[in-house]
């Protein structure tokens, strides 16, 4: 091979649509309205997946093919564990750089948080509602526990000081209580409540240590709560246990992407910190290669009326094609 090899990756899983009547169009019946393509997973990230392939089509149309191996990777579980991307590493796929066109508003991700998922189960002995005591039920206890987790979140946010790419963000660390379910009957005091949670950590922070801190914090709080002390909440790490990464400036791959972006869009490439999980962490942390996350304009990802700008998808496709041309080099396709 003459050129440098490249991984072009995208994930095919999507987050649930939520209540479908909150959508302008049905979430899984894509609709184009002006420049926007609406639909769950259109922006996050079928658009980028398509752009990866369109870029190769564009080169072929002008009689060129890459002068090095390109791996087109389609992975699962970017929205829950990151294990799909991780498997590409464990199976031994390697290249000189990786590009993942997540919907990043035509900017390059400079730094990215790690993410942990955890489930907290609160249980306790209920009584008839006529005998209930103040707060002695699983739903109220779960909310007290959420309060403690919010205090932990505030402490982790305060620890942004001195962390490049994070200290100027107002709230770089987000705790999300994404799902709650508890109790069985309006007239029975709730005996159980389960929380599905997500919290982020800084690059360089150990996911294992963060998990231990969460467990100890919950355990300590429960010991001092009259209701929770009887039956300590159980904590299960049931998804992401992923660490963050920083894309160190100055790599050749970033320079090539910057030139491609300027040629395709007419603007300088901006970089920024993202506060959500990204599969590029696998390539940055474990493949130890330049891992570029850069993709189209979008609105409403993980929300209602998710949409992607089609003009932006075209620009991104141009950037990717030019990136391939310079990074991998090109060869003429033999005429048949």
Calpha distance 43→204 (Å, rounded): 29
Regarding 277 and contact with a copy of itself (CB under 8 A), the answer is yes
Regarding 174 and contact with a copy of itself (CB under 8 A), the answer is yes
* Structural tokens at position 289: 């290669």
Which of residues 67 and 152 has its CB atom nearest to a copy of itself in the complex? 152
Regarding 49 and contact with a copy of itself (CB under 8 A), the answer is no
Calpha distance 115→121 (Å, rounded): 20
Binding mask 18-47 for a copy of itself (x = CB under 8 A): xx--x-------------------------
Q: Are 63 and 332 in contact (CB under 8 A)?
A: yes
* Structural tokens at position 174: 């987000």
- In order of 42, 99, 133, 151, 291, the CA distances from 91 in angstroms are 28, 18, 56, 40, 18
Binding mask 278-307 for a copy of itself (x = CB under 8 A): ----------------------xxxxx---
Calpha distance 44→277 (Å, rounded): 12
Regarding 182 and contact with a copy of itself (CB under 8 A), the answer is yes
For a copy of itself, which stretch binds (CB under 8 A), given 86-94, 139-147, 222-230, 307-315?
139-147
Which of 29, 32, 72, 127 is the binder for a copy of itself (CB under 8 A)? 127
Cβ neighbours of residue 137 closer than 8 Å, sequence gap 6 or more: 124, 126, 183, 189, 190, 191, 227
CA 23 centroid distance within chain: 22
Residues 312 to 331 in contact with a copy of itself, rule: CB under 8 A: none
Residues 65 to 124 in contact with a copy of itself, rule: CB under 8 A: 79-80, 115, 117, 123
Interaction site with a copy of itself (CB under 8 A) = 15-16, 18-19, 22, 79-80, 115, 117, 123, 125-132, 134, 137, 139-140, 143, 146, 171, 174, 176-193, 196-198, 239-240, 274-277, 300-304
């Amino acid at each position: 091979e003459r050129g440098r090899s490249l991984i072009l990756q995208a994930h095919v899983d999507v987050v649930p649509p939520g209540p479908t009547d909150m959508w302008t169009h049905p979430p899984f019946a894509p609709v184009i309205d002006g420049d926007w393509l609406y639909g769950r997973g259109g922006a996050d990230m079928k658009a980028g997946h398509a752009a990866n392939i369109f870029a190769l089509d564009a080169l072929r149309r002008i009689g060129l093919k890459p002068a090095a191996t390109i791996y087109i990777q389609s992975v699962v579980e970017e929205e829950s564990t990151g294990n799909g991307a991780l498997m590409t590493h464990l199976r031994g796929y390697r290249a000189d750089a990786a590009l993942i066109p997540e919907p990043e508003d035509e900017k390059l991700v400079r730094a990215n948080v790690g993410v942990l998922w955890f489930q907290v189960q609160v249980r306790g002995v209920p009584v008839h509602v006529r005998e209930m005591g103040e707060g002695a039920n699983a739903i109220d206890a779960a909310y007290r526990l959420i309060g403690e987790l919010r205090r932990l979140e505030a402490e982790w946010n305060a620890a942004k000081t001195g962390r490049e790419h994070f200290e100027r963000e107002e709230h770089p660390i987000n705790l999300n209580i994404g799902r709650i379910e508890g109790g069985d009957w309006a007239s029975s005091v709730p005996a159980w409540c389960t929380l599905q949670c997500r919290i982020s950590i800084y690059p360089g922070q150990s996911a294992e240590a963060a998990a231990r801190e969460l467990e100890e914090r919950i355990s300590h709080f429960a010991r001092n709560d009259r209701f929770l002390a009887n039956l300590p909440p159980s904590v299960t790490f049931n998804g992401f246990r992923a660490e963050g990464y920083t894309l160190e400036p100055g790599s050749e791959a970033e320079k090539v992407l910057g030139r491609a972006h300027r040629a395709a869009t007419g603007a300088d490439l901006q970089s920024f910190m993202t506060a959500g999980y990204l599969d590029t962490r696998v390539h940055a942390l474990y493949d130890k290669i330049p891992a570029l996350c850069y993709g189209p304009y979008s609105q409403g990802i993980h929300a209602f009326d998710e949409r992607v700008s089609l003009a932006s998808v075209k620009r991104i496709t141009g950037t990717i094609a030019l990136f391939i041309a310079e990074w991998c080099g090109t060869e003429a396709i033999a005429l048949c």
